[in-house]
Chains A and B, each alone.
Chain A
């Protein structure tokens, strides 16, 4: 019987209370993590109070500026990455000591790999990429904002609500134990009636709606808001990958929403979608989940490919090699990614013909990916290469991502998959594509575009240390898992009895500590760079001799992005303008600029989303109902409110823009040799030694 006021929630649901009443090591670890939520919250409030930052904070949360929304996505992702890295380290250290039983209980370990996976995919990788897309795409296509700025804020609010649910599960109740894929019937009501699976499916459902809306928003932005003259085949490669990712989001998120709704109906209302009895079919869940899940992999990797396609020409001072091939490869990957989902369950008993068809489709994806790697290599060939931080990530990516891709080709063969599935070989494979692929791409992209948003570079010294730590940490942690998998060690194992596993497990555990170090260096990197921001400032906006439109504006980019919307005549419009000397010439005529004004819409929907999710998880029906009705009423009220615009007078735009152009015309600029020094104020001087 559930309480009408508090639902299933009681004092004992709070982890800290459990620890006091029934102390043990597992609870101590959990409550240590749980206690960080209230303590972190209090510290954050104290910090805001001390700095008196309430107003700027509210300004950010109500802003519809795509650059600020993008930055908030990335800050959110970094916070969630902290949890993911700690959990990953804990699991690797546990397994290193788990010969005949480690220090964690099996239930705790199960929660760890479930939250680690869910968190890393949905609340780290996705927000990172959506954040980068938010920051970069409107600037790259020469637009003032996205197509639907308010909707963009709602997407952020819904992602935040999902993140809130998975975070609060650490403090109140428990998370699911069935892995990030959440298969029934283990996650069904019969076997698992607790709140864990509810947390899982509701946080995914809510943030998934946000991601769908993001996909719609960016597809429309790219289709409809490109600068004059920017045909499809003149779009920068990152924008191309963002377009393909948006299309994948539009088509791949609905299966996730559908299977979350269905599992929810099974759990809450005793429906029979995926139950073992009464005509339910759990294979339906697995098919639906991977119809989302496989395109999801490419949702993650395509923008990372886009980053690589931007940094390789910039840091070798050449135009991108094989533009058309890269575009075609991106489109191929996007289309074929919908035809391979079954390779996630080759061993579940369908016919050999079906397995062969999906195996071949999976192998085919390797071809366009290979094309891309060769194109980037050819871009570097004969270039004026600088070993900046993004380039170190690119080199790590070249070597390690190819290994990950090749192990994927091995797994794509159904006969081999029968041997290797559910082993650590698989764990090694997907970490091998996600860390050197997605994560290195994101971090390289953050290094590359950070100055555009905040107006100063990140320090190269700490950046390089961080990059090397990630590379070494990755190699130590995950490469040993390949042989371990082939020796027969299964994934998600809480303990084992074969001492042969121990040496490699120890290496892997040590590597995980390296990865924690790499995360620590990211924090130090941001901190030291913020402290030194005056020396690192690049007000003229073009620190790396960029080729595309986003560098053709001051840094930090003004609210209106471009004083006058640029017109495009080639693939590298900014490089062309710098060559014929027109880049910083004065403009005759400025016009008033209209921008959407701040709104509380996204913030309100985000808070109500938290309430809806929490109410549903704990069966607090009044809270769920009130939050749901609140969302409906908010949407209605906003329909009646006039859409407010801020008008920035032409005179103000002129003042800012003319000052920037004059400074750039008078400045000497830096050559590429001094790019990483304090002399770099964001103006590139042509090279004495041009690239081949």
Chain B
């Protein structure tokens, strides 16, 4: 096997050979998670299809122009995109500081905490949007359109919440058990998950919010 191939065992950022066996172990584990993400992408795809087919099923209820606050959506997009960057920084510090057990955990934990805070900022605005939509008569039981909207955006929000919870568990694990092989692989998989949520959000932002207002 050539050096270049050996350097990249799975799609995305690899730990690198200086991590020894941890790098090799990541191959199956992270590849498996990519496959799972493909399956999850199909799930999102199904909710997108339903949303597309329900885009005009207002049933006399409020539509995008009455309900959307593009300012808030812009904040959510900003928070999530920056959090993707900071999660990338966390994985970079994992790669660079933790090739052996001695590295300091400060940088890694710092970036993970920042990512969580940004994720919470996203969720805060999303929930505030949901509350104001419900107050304006746009709850999920009002029409087929709103059902599809709440479910699609809510499914994404549920994923973000899971990602935040997962990240909290990772921080606890790293602090109590050190950056061992299990937590390294967990961080790599969590990072795939977090970036994936960003990709899905861009689709939601474009089709649901921008598409709705144009």
Chain A residues near B (Cβ < 8 Å): 147-148, 212-213, 215-217, 219-220, 223-225, 250-251, 253-255, 257-259, 262, 265, 269-273, 275, 277-281, 284, 288, 291, 632, 636, 639-640, 642-643
* A224–B31 CB distance below 8 A: yes
* B32–A272 CB distance below 8 A: no
A251-B58 in contact given A216-B35, A278-B142, A278-B143 (Cβ < 8 Å): no
Binds A, one of B39-47, B91-99, B108-116: B39-47
13 pairs, CB–CB < 8 Å, chain A vs chain B: A213-B36, A219-B35, A220-B31, A250-B39, A250-B42, A258-B43, A272-B59, A272-B143, A272-B147, A279-B58, A280-B147, A281-B53, A288-B50
A281-B39 in contact given A220-B28, A225-B28 (Cβ < 8 Å): no
Q: Which residues of A contact B45 (CB under 8 A)?
A: 254
B198 at the interface (CB under 8 A from A): no
Q: Which residue of B lies closest to A253 (CB)?
A: B39
* A273–B148 CB distance below 8 A: yes
Q: Which residue of A lies closest to B154 (CB)?
A: A265
* A284–B143 CB distance below 8 A: no
Q: Which residue of B lies closest to A637 (CB)?
A: B169
Q: Which residues of A contact B182 (CB under 8 A)?
A: 639, 642-643
* A262–B143 CB distance below 8 A: no
In B93-142, the 8 Å CB interface with A consists of 140-142
Bound CA span A251–B36, Å: 10
Q: Which residues of A contact B204 (CB under 8 A)?
A: none
* A272–B42 CB distance below 8 A: no
Bound CA span A631–B194, Å: 21
* A220–B32 CB distance below 8 A: yes
* A262–B141 CB distance below 8 A: no
* B43–A257 CB distance below 8 A: yes
- Main secondary structure on A side of the interface with B: helix
Q: Which residues of A contact B144 (CB under 8 A)?
A: 272-273, 275, 278-281
The 8 A-B pairs with the shortest beta carbon distances in the complex, nearest first, are A279-B144, A279-B57, A258-B46, A279-B59, A254-B42, A254-B43, A220-B32, A271-B147
Bound CA span A270–B173, Å: 40
Bound CA span A500–B130, Å: 61
B145 at the interface (CB under 8 A from A): yes
Q: Which residues of B contact A220 (CB under 8 A)?
A: 28, 31-32, 35
B199 at the interface (CB under 8 A from A): no
* B57–A280 CB distance below 8 A: yes
Q: Which residue of B lies closest to A277 (CB)?
A: B59
Q: Which residue of B lies closest to A280 (CB)?
A: B144
* A216–B39 CB distance below 8 A: yes
> B99: shortest Cβ distance to chain A, in Å?
21
Besides A250-B35, A272-B57, A273-B147, 9 more A-B contacts (Cβ < 8 Å) are A148-B32, A251-B38, A251-B42, A269-B141, A271-B141, A271-B151, A278-B143, A288-B49, A642-B182
Q: Which residues of A contact B46 (CB under 8 A)?
A: 254-255, 258-259, 288, 291
B8 at the interface (CB under 8 A from A): no
* A269–B140 CB distance below 8 A: yes
- Main secondary structure on B side of the interface with A: helix
Bound CA span A279–B145, Å: 7
Q: Which residues of B contact A253 (CB under 8 A)?
A: 39
Q: Which residues of B contact A255 (CB under 8 A)?
A: 42, 46
Q: Which residues of A contact B206 (CB under 8 A)?
A: none
A270-B39 in contact given A279-B58, A281-B54 (Cβ < 8 Å): no
> A109: shortest Cβ distance to chain B, in Å?
33
* B143–A640 CB distance below 8 A: no
Bound CA span A223–B61, Å: 50
* B35–A636 CB distance below 8 A: no
B22 at the interface (CB under 8 A from A): no
Option from A223, A258, A640 in Cβ contact (under 8 Å) with B47: A258
> B171: shortest Cβ distance to chain A, in Å?
12
B177 at the interface (CB under 8 A from A): yes
Q: Which residues of B contact A224 (CB under 8 A)?
A: 27-28, 31
> B44: shortest Cβ distance to chain A, in Å?
9
Chain B count of residues within 8 A CB distance of the other chain? 41
Option from B40, B150, B169, B173 in Cβ contact (under 8 Å) with A254: B40
* A279–B140 CB distance below 8 A: no
Bound CA span A278–B61, Å: 9
A639-B169 in contact given A147-B28, A262-B151 (Cβ < 8 Å): yes
Bound CA span A288–B207, Å: 20
Q: Which residue of A lies closest to B57 (CB)?
A: A279
Q: Which residues of B contact A291 (CB under 8 A)?
A: 46
Q: Which residues of B contact A280 (CB under 8 A)?
A: 57, 144, 147
The contact string, 1 if C-beta is below 8 Å from chain A, for chain B 54-91, is 10011101000000000000000000000000000000
Q: Which residue of A lies closest to B165 (CB)?
A: A632
Which of A224, A278, A281 is the most central at the interface, judged by chain B CB atoms within 10 Å of its CB? A278
Bound CA span A251–B169, Å: 29
* A212–B54 CB distance below 8 A: no
In B169-193, the 8 Å CB interface with A consists of 169, 172-173, 176-177, 182, 186
Q: Which residue of B lies closest to A292 (CB)?
A: B46
Q: Which residues of B contact A259 (CB under 8 A)?
A: 46
Bound CA span A225–B45, Å: 30
Bound CA span A236–B59, Å: 55
* B186–A639 CB distance below 8 A: yes
Bound CA span A288–B46, Å: 8
Q: Which residues of B contact A639 (CB under 8 A)?
A: 169, 173, 182, 186
Option from B32, B50, B177 in Cβ contact (under 8 Å) with A273: B50
Bound CA span A148–B32, Å: 9
Q: Which residue of A lies closest to B181 (CB)?
A: A643
> A88: shortest Cβ distance to chain B, in Å?
32
Q: Which residue of B lies closest to A632 (CB)?
A: B165
> B181: shortest Cβ distance to chain A, in Å?
9
* B32–A216 CB distance below 8 A: yes
Q: Which residues of A contact B142 (CB under 8 A)?
A: 278
* A254–B186 CB distance below 8 A: no
Bound CA span A220–B146, Å: 38
Bound CA span A271–B140, Å: 6
Q: Which residue of A lies closest to B170 (CB)?
A: A639
Q: Which residues of B contact A642 (CB under 8 A)?
A: 182
A279-B143 in contact given A255-B42, A258-B47, A284-B50 (Cβ < 8 Å): yes
Q: Which residues of A contact B27 (CB under 8 A)?
A: 224
* A212–B31 CB distance below 8 A: no
Bound CA span A280–B54, Å: 8
> A209: shortest Cβ distance to chain B, in Å?
10
> A127: shortest Cβ distance to chain B, in Å?
20
Option from A250, A265, A281, A636 in Cβ contact (under 8 Å) with B169: A636
Bound CA span A586–B113, Å: 57
Which of B42, B145, B146 is the most central at the interface, judged by chain A CB atoms within 10 Å of its CB? B42
Option from A212, A215, A217, A262 in Cβ contact (under 8 Å) with B50: A262
Bound CA span A645–B27, Å: 19
Q: Which residues of A contact B50 (CB under 8 A)?
A: 258, 262, 273, 284, 288
Bound CA span A251–B42, Å: 7
A215-B39 in contact given A258-B47, A271-B151, A279-B54 (Cβ < 8 Å): yes
Q: Which residues of B contact A279 (CB under 8 A)?
A: 54, 57-59, 61, 143-145, 147
* A640–B145 CB distance below 8 A: no
> A483: shortest Cβ distance to chain B, in Å?
40
Q: Which residue of B lies closest to A255 (CB)?
A: B46
Q: Which residues of A contact B186 (CB under 8 A)?
A: 639
Bound CA span A280–B36, Å: 30
Bound CA span A643–B143, Å: 48
* A640–B177 CB distance below 8 A: yes
> B131: shortest Cβ distance to chain A, in Å?
17
Q: Which residue of B lies closest to A258 (CB)?
A: B46
Bound CA span A493–B87, Å: 59
> A251: shortest Cβ distance to chain B, in Å?
6
Q: Which residues of B contact A147 (CB under 8 A)?
A: 28, 32
Q: Which residues of B contact A215 (CB under 8 A)?
A: 39
Q: Which residues of A contact B31 (CB under 8 A)?
A: 220, 223-224
Bound CA span A216–B38, Å: 10
Bound CA span A148–B42, Å: 22
